Amino acid sequence: MNKLIASATLGLVALTTLNAQQKPNVVFIVTDDLGYGDLSCFGQEKFETPNIDRLALNGTRFTHSYSGTTVSAPSRASLMTGLHTGHTPIRGNKELQPEGQFPLPNNINNIFGIFKSAGYKTGAFGKWGLGQPGSSGDPNNQHVDEFFGYNCQLLAHNYYPDHLWHNQTRIDFPENNDGKFGTFSQDLIQEKTLEFIEQNKQQPFFLYVPIVLPHAELVVPEDSIIQKFRGMYPEKPFSGTDSGAAFRKGGYASQNYPRATHAAMVSRIDLYVGQIIDKLKDEGIYENTLIVFTSDNGPHQEGGGDPDFFNSNGMYRGYKRDLYEGGIRVPTIISWPSSIAKGIESDFTFAFWDYLPTFADLLNQKVPKNIDGISILPLLLNRKGQKKHDYFYFEFQEQGGRQAVVKDNWKLIHMNIRNNPYYELYNIASDPNERHNIISLYPKKAMDLKQIMKSARTKDVNWKLFRNED
């Protein structure tokens, strides 16, 4: 069901055909650990996100969209491949030495390949985390024309790094050596993002913007943004890693003002979004650019992060690493000024694995076989015939292993799979914050969902969620 936001007066806009000479640009912005309630248009009351709020008023705000899962690498693998985490080739955060994570394989369908097949220029700017430099998962080996940012998500914990990557070239920052604060990585990544728009404005492009903020560590430049928030909130200083082997190699720095810094980080995201929109307008391509804004999972508690103070998960239970709604339900906004209705709120349920078939549908490309996603383009364009999922499946490899299945209003969670496993059952319509485990009242429903859970995943030798896969 869709409903108009009270302040919106603009009507629905239907698009029946896609003019080949007017292919839309697509900008996909995914933030890192931004909670459902971290935006003022999703209920945040302790700071504001005006640029993102305006994006919502010029598009559709989705209140029931899911990420791929509850941590970065498998969630983003789901986004890239159109597969849920029972089928993705990457099902956990697995570090490889000397730098990077377990790679996406060679011959797998991904979003960038869909756009390349349609004649698009492709770029990725921010955190990758899907394959170490030179591996099959290296962005340049996954149909990305230009990459700038962190290949390794562990190194992306730190905002004043000793290096980033521009395609196959390592860019060193001696100005950040010895604990100095020379180049703030995300500001430089944003500059490269805007340059990509300017350099490719004459051709259709797909711009993937995996912003590293507001993931810990909680560090921002000393500018007017942090100065605005410092002193605004009661603080609980965080004592972190300020020297030693893990310093700026994944360890989180100390922070005396973690709450102010979180607010400043989200405000900085809002600034970046405003800059991207302004750049698209300046280049005359905003009206025909589809923009997605979302997050890869729920809010974190690392590095001094305090999601409870900010109500970062909204009304929902759970955080990053949980399969409760707070760990996987993410804020999502989709805008396309020339073609998508403005000022709409939708509670239609979809997930990260639906973007690949949606983009294939948008570009009149063949939807790959054997994926889990469905196109939501009919919904976006107010067409008839929007399909729905029979169920949604999620898994998490760490902390003993967890699974979840959502079907209609029912949700079954399998906890502690490797050690003393048990199940919880919730009705997320009547109990959206998952406070009342009703598995003893509905044993037949729980059994049905257990069967779905069992059949939803395939065995994968790289990931050992179950004992029989050891």
CA-based Rg of the chain, rounded to a whole angstrom? 21
SS3 230: coil
SS3 446: helix
Q: Domain range spanning residue 434?
A: 399-469
> In sequence order, what are the beta bridge partners of 425?
412
> In sequence order, what are the beta bridge partners of 411?
406, 426
CATH number at residue 145: 3.40.720.10
**Domain-embedded: residue 355:** yes
**Pair 348, 380 in one domain:** yes
**Pair 269, 135 in one domain:** yes
The 10s digit of each residue's pLDDT in 111-132 is: 999 999 999 999 999 999 999 9
Percent of residues, the chain, with pLDDT higher than 90: 92
Average pLDDT over residues 81-103: 95
**Pair 404, 365 in one domain:** no
For residue 462, name the pLDDT band (cuts at 50, 70, 90). confident
User: Is residue 240 within 8 Å of 254, Cβ to Cβ?
Assistant: yes
Extract the runs of DSSP E, i.e. beta strands, from 138-194: 146-150, 163-166, 169-172
Alpha carbon distance 339, 19 (integer Å): 12
Structure token digits, residue 133: 């430099």
Percent of residues, the chain, with pLDDT higher than 70: 94
Average pLDDT over residues 391-407: 96
Specify the amino acid at residue 309: F
Extract the runs of DSSP E, i.e. beta strands, from 5-80: 25-31, 60-66
Structural domain count, the chain? 2
**Pair 320, 438 in one domain:** no
Specify the amino acid at residue 61: R
**Pair 330, 438 in one domain:** no
CA distances from 314 to 16, 380, 463 (A): 37, 25, 32
Specify the amino acid at residue 40: S
End-to-end CA distance of the chain: 44
Structure token digits, residue 88: 């993705």
Question: Is residue 16 predicted with pLDDT exceeding 60?
Answer: no
Mean pLDDT, the chain, whole residue set: 94
Single out the residue in 357, 391, 425 at which a domain terminates.
391
The 10s digit of each residue's pLDDT in 19-73 is: 444 899 999 999 999 999 999 999 999 999 999 999 999 999 999 999 999 999 9
**Pair 280, 324 in one domain:** yes
pLDDT at 467: 55
**Helix, strand, coil content of the chain in percent (nearest 5):** 25, 20, 55
**Domain-embedded: residue 201:** yes
**Pair 181, 258 in one domain:** yes
**Domain-embedded: residue 10:** no
Alpha carbon distance 69, 298 (integer Å): 9
**Pair 387, 413 in one domain:** no
Question: Is residue 3 predicted with pLDDT exceeding 70?
Answer: no
Q: Specify the pTM.
A: 0.95
